[in-house]
């Protein structure tokens, strides 16, 4: 198959690209490199099954190729990114989704939207299943990302209902692994890099808020299974093992042998107090659940950042 991935030079997009090429597919990557990194895909520069196009997907889209799939992953995806790029975040969720859905309709291709657990906002139920409608503040600082993804889901379902477009929606929960940016504001790379440098590890709030962490290989497997499935409903993809941020920090200190202490800062506005996926639908529809244990995934991620630090990055 020939597959277009928007945001294909980002963390998730580049790992999914590797997975799809390994499965024998041809990939076209669109990325404007605002938050993506060309180094994430540089190893594919001489691969005949891969083509990179620097392009902003909120602008006019055109391709000569026949496309079997469009995977829309383009978006700032961390609190630091969408705090600095609020309008771009809204545009790629709205205009970018509209442009890519239009291209899918023109090419008669299937379409997968990379949505997020942030559509649930600061949830009032735990764990969160796909029937939960969320608790989102549309005008808060996180609203630009939450509402962009909620709008993207609504637009995707509108194209499915009105035009009969074959669509998928992945609600992606916290994912981690190599190729993350050290300073992108997400908790795993932030704590790992502070621990490796023996710096104070920043905990927001009292550290009792919970998250669930899915290793990248499990996530790309889930995304591929979702592509190959026939379900058009949103599907939660994530690891249901819930833990507090304090527990995560202590685990990272143990794995790295760090001398870091913890330091506490004020909890950001609208920061979710709990986050845990109910993956019953993924188990039933995709026969999928994570298999990589947290200690294994964290060690691979720690080794990646150790290597980056030794290289002076």
User: Do 11 and 41 form a contact (C-beta atoms < 8 A)?
Assistant: no
Cα dihedral: 230, 232, 234, 236 (round 10) = 0
Q: Which of 50, 82, 120, 145 is catalytic?
A: 145
CA–CA separation, 250 and 270 (whole Å): 25
Strand residues in the chain grouped as ranges (E): 2-6, 26-31, 50-54, 69-72, 110-116, 167-172, 175-176, 201-204, 210-212, 214-215, 234-237, 242-244, 262-265
Radius of gyration of the chain (CA): 19
For residue 31, the cross-strand partners are 54
Q: Is 145 a catalytic residue?
A: yes
CB atoms within 10 A of CB 252: 23
Nearest to 225 by CA among 290, 273, 271: 290
Nearest to 113 by CA among 51, 48, 158: 158
Give the tokens for residue 114: 């990379």
CB atoms within 10 A of CB 210: 16
Give the residue numbers annotated as catalytic, written as ranges: 145
């Amino acid at each position: 198959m020939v597959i277009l991935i928007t945001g294909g030079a980002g963390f998730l997009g580049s790992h999914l690209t590797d997975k799809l090429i390994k499965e024998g597919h041809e990939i076209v990557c669109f990325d404007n490199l605002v938050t993506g990194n060309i180094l994430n895909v540089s190893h594919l520069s001489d691969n005949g099954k891969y083509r990179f196009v620097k392009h902003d997907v909120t602008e006019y889209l055109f391709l000569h190729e026949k496309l079997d799939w469009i995977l829309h992953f383009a978006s700032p995806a961390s609190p630091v990114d969408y705090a600095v790029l609020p309008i771009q975040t809204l545009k790629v969720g709205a205009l970018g989704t509209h442009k890519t859905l239009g291209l899918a309709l023109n090419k008669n291709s299937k379409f997968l939207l990379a949505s997020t657990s942030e559509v649930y906002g600061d949830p009032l139920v735990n764990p969160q299943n796909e029937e939960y409608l969320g608790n989102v503040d549309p005008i808060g600082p996180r609203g630009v990302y939450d509402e962009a993804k909620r709008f993207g889901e609504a637009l995707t379902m509108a194209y499915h209902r009105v035009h009969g477009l074959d669509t998928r929606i992945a609600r992606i929960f916290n994912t981690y692994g190599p190729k993350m940016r050290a300073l992108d504001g997400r908790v795993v790379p932030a704590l790992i890099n502070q621990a490796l440098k023996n710096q104070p590890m920043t905990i927001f709030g009292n550290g009792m808020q919970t998250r669930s962490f899915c290793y990248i290989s499990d996530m790309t497997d889930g995304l591929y299974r979702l592509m190959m499935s026939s379900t058009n409903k949103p599907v939660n993809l994530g690891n249901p093992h819930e833990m507090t941020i304090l527990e995560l920090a202590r685990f990272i200190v143990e794995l790295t042998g760090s001398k870091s202490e913890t330091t506490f800062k004020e909890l950001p506005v609208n920061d979710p107090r709990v986050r845990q996926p109910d993956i019953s639908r993924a188990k039933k529809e995709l026969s999928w659940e994570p298999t990589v244990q947290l200690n294994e995934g964290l060690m691979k991620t720690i080794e990646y950042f150790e290597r980056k630090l030794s290289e002076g990055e």
